Every structure is written in structure tokens, then in C-alpha cells.
Amino acid sequence: MRLLFLGDVSGRTGRNAVCDQLPAMRERLAADFVIVNGENSAGGFGITEQIFQNLIDAGADVVTTGNHVWDQREALVFIARQNRLLRPLNYPTGTPGAGAGLFRAANGAEVLVMNVLGRIFMDAMDDPFQRVEQEVAACPLMQGADAIFIDIHAEATSEKQGLAAAFDGRVSAVVGTHTHVPTADARIMPGGTAFMTDVGMCGDFDSIIGMEKGEPVHRFVTRIPSGRFTPATGAATICGVLIETDDATGLAVSIEPIQEGAALGGGRTRREG
């Protein structure tokens, strides 16, 4: 099975690029199942129901989120009727929505998708390791699911690597989101789990993690806010990974980073003139 995952969609530029390009990308890469992290898709903060539906219509099977999931207050309501939108699994009991789900891929396979938040340098949450353990125990690889994918939305690289190490050989893939910068460590771990510390974002990389540079720089220099953060609106780069799993074991046989667009996908790495 071939799983395509696209990283944090950032603002209008990112979501337009994903909605425009995902249909052809899915066909070109022969992806059986597509997951998109959409937590920054509404003006850089959260997701609306209309944007969620646009991502689904473009070819996403599941949309994951992260620490900005509730920034658009309507998400607290519409997530209850949209089971293909996941909020982090380790929110407290009683939080609207679900953090994991079993979904049918185009090839008929069953894919368990989980979305968890890290706890290092983040708001206090339930233990992601315990919550993932509960889901994996209830729906083991090749018993309850043909593939298991985890989007860990976390700040610390060590925590992302730790989760992957803890579940190596028991899940198909663990891929990190949140920092918006793709890492160079895509690999298959010894037990057969595909891993990448951070997949990067879908948005304008002539920015500071997807935002126009002026206000972040001002705050770094002066420590004083002077306005709102606003998403950058230049040409977008789409970042993701394509993972192929073994139909007999559910474990990964390959992981390929995807970086397509102006900044990282064939863009200039030196200044001309």
C-alpha cells in the first residue's frame, strides 16, 4: 500500500496549492491513502469546516491537526459530524472529536490513523505514549489494521524520535509535524517503521514558519508585539512523504520525502548575479 502524507498546510497559499495539486499528485504517485495536516490552514490558525471539506474534495482521506485545532471556534462543533477530521488523541477525556480512526483506503485496506501532541515545550496534555499504546493494543497491526500511521505534532525532536522508537515494529509509520521545516532523516527504523522527525509545511517558505517575516522579526528584536501574525502569500512549496508498506506485514518498505515547489522543490540554492 502507498500512503501519502502532506505536512502542515499554512494559510491560503498552502491550502490553495494543496487543493490545486493534490488530485494530480495522488494519481501520479499512485497513492492508495492520503493524510493531510490542516491545523494552520485557516489564516495560519486552525481549520474551518469549509476548508476541511475542500481538502477532502481534493483527495485527502483524513485531515489531522495539532495544538491550533481549536483556534477557529467552529471546530469545536463541526468536528463531531466530521469523523475524517482528527484532533490530537491525548486531549483530556470529554474533548469533542476523536484522535484516532480506522479508515478504508482506495485499495480496500484498513488504515488506523492517530494524531498525538507532544508534551515537551507544549501545553500540558495526557501522555501520548500511553494513549498510542491503548490504540495499538486495541487495533494491532495486521490484526485490526493493515497499516497504522501516527502524526506526532511536537516541538522536541527527541520526543518524536522517542515515540517512533517505542513503537518501532508495531506501526507502519511515525511522522512528525509542527515545526514546519522538513528534516533530512527520513528512514526505516530497525523494526520496520518508517520515520521522519518533521515532514515540513505546505506554504510559502519565504517566511518565518509560514508567516510574513516583519512581525516575528520585530518581536524577536524588541520583545514587543506590534501587530498580528499573518500568513505569507508568496509561491508555495508542498512538503510530504510517500510511504510504501508491505501488504503481508503492514511495515514500511520505503519512505520518500516530497518537496515540490518554489523554495525546496528544484528552487535555487544559490543567488544568481
Catalytic site positions: 68
The DSSP call for residue 151 is: E
Strands (E), 135-236: 147-153, 173-177, 187-188, 194-196, 201-202
| 3-state secondary structure (DSSP) of residue 69 | coil
Rounded CA separation 128/66 (Å):
13
Rounded CA separation 271/260 (Å):
19
- 6: its cell numbers: 502532506
Rounded CA separation 170/191 (Å):
8
H/E segment holding residue 33: strand 33-37
Q: CB atoms < 10 A from the CB of 94, how many?
A: 5
| 3-state secondary structure (DSSP) of residue 51 | helix
Q: Residue 31, class by beta-carbon neighbours within 10 Å (0-12 exposed, 13-18 middle, 19+ buried)?
A: buried
User: What are the phi and psi torsion angles at 130 (to 5°)?
Assistant: -65, -40
User: Is there a contact between 145 and 250 (Cβ–Cβ < 8 Å)?
Assistant: yes
Q: Considering only CA atoms, give the Rg of the chain.
A: 18
